[in-house]
Amino acid sequence: MTGTECEGESARTPEAEIRAAAEKLAAVRARPCLLAVLPHIRRRELIGFCDAVAALPDGPADVLLASPGGDIDAAYPMARALGRRGASLGVFVPLCAKSAATLIAIVADELVLGPLGELGPIDAQFDRKRRADFSSHCSELTIFRALEQANLLSLDLFDETIGRVLKGSGMTPFDAAAKATELVGDLMGKLYGQIDPLRVGEAARALEVGHEYAIRLLRRYRPEIETEQARRLVHGLVHRYPAHGFALDLEELGEMGLPARRARGDEASCLDRIARALLPVEGELEVLGVVAPPAPIEAASVPAAAMDCNVIAA
């Protein structure tokens, strides 16, 4: 490579580098590639995304997906638009496709992760205003994790209290249990009294939305996954993980039953280039469009005169 070519490579903007690597991927795969680098999945991106899907020619296609997530109500019709194509679909993840983006990724027939690629749980988020007047994105699972911890604390306190009452008072086990119930009930009742049942219901319903969207996508567009397996898979995506940003890597996805594999050869180098270009601008850069593979080179036609000569010579 000449010095001028090296300067050209280093002078590329992140978007230009991503597009160049996507063109290489399209050439390697010999199929069109939809570029979907979305810093935040919102309904306002819905028309552009669906237009890009419509621009894909019939037949097998790939999606290069990079997004930390966003509005799950917007991600669902995006995933549905891909699933409705009815052709083989590969989803390539160079860096992360989390939360709402994971919902899009599960419609893939082939899920390919780059060296730094990962998905994430699809537990719903909500914006909570704090005293400093900025929004904090919180998982709807937080309230259920808090309830689980409170329940465990109640049981531990009950067991410890019974033991102490029996040891120090000489009460019968029945009377000790009644006393422990009274003491722990008074203590934990103040904690449970701060829980808003309406807020618990809202959180449960928000999580159920993601669960039902994922179930429908798998049932309609991934029918090879059996119903019970799909339910276990989706329950895990929504409820299993301790944090919204938890990394679902290649091994984790394989254990869940998703058709995930490691990028190979030129695929891996393309995804690595894209990940390196994305890292400095992650959450800022938006790239949406279709990259077509290079047209096949047609064999040169033989002039009719030459054909006649060959026939005569024969």
Domains of the chain by range and CATH?
12-120+247-291 (3.90.226), 141-200 (no CATH)
Tell me, what's the pLDDT at 135? 42
Q: Rounded to whole angstroms, how far apart are CA atoms 281 and 176?
A: 62
Tell me, what's the pLDDT at 239? 87
Strand ranges inside the chain, DSSP E: 33-37, 61-66, 89-93, 96-97, 110-113, 118-119, 125-129, 135-139, 260-262, 287-291
Taking alpha carbons only, the member of 243, 235, 241 closest to residue 215 is 235
Tell me, what's the pLDDT at 304? 47
Give mean pLDDT, residues 118-145: 61
Cα angle 206, 208, 212; round to 5: 125
| Banded model confidence at residue 302, pLDDT cuts 50, 70, 90 | very low
Res. 136: pLDDT tops 70 = no
| Banded model confidence at residue 235, pLDDT cuts 50, 70, 90 | very high
Which residues sit opposite 127 in a β-bridge? 137
* Model confidence pLDDT, tens digit, residues 98-129: 999 999 999 999 999 999 999 999 986 555 54
Give mean pLDDT, residues 161-182: 80
Contact (Cβ atoms closer than 8 angstroms) between residue 234 and residue 212 = no
User: By CB neighbour count within 10 A (0-12 exposed, 13-18 middle, 19+ buried), where does 38 fall?
Assistant: buried
H/E stretch holding 6 reads helix 3-10
- Cα–Cα separations (whole angstroms), residue 278 to 16, 145, 222, 264, 283: 11, 33, 30, 20, 9
| Banded model confidence at residue 161, pLDDT cuts 50, 70, 90 | confident
Q: What is the CA radius of gyration of the chain?
A: 28
| Banded model confidence at residue 44, pLDDT cuts 50, 70, 90 | very high
Tell me, what's the pLDDT at 130? 42
Q: Rounded to whole angstroms, how far apart are CA atoms 131 and 145?
A: 23
Q: What SS3 class is residue 55?
A: helix
Average pLDDT, the chain: 83
Give mean pLDDT, residues 235-239: 91
Q: Which residue has the higher pLDDT, 252 or 144?
A: 252
- Cα–Cα separations (whole angstroms), residue 109 to 156, 259, 288: 47, 7, 21
Q: Among the listed ranges 21-30, 93-102, 120-129, 252-261, which one has the minimum average pLDDT value? A: 120-129
Tell me, what's the pLDDT at 147? 60
Q: What SS3 class is residue 85?
A: coil
Tell me, what's the pLDDT at 149? 62
For the whole model, what pTM was predicted? Answer: 0.75
Taking alpha carbons only, the member of 9, 8, 14, 10 closest to residue 277 is 14
Q: What SS3 class is residue 102?
A: helix
- The separation between CA 160 and the C-alpha centre of its own chain, rounded to angstroms, equals 43
Sign of CA dihedral 294, 54, 48, 113: negative
Res. 83: pLDDT tops 90 = yes
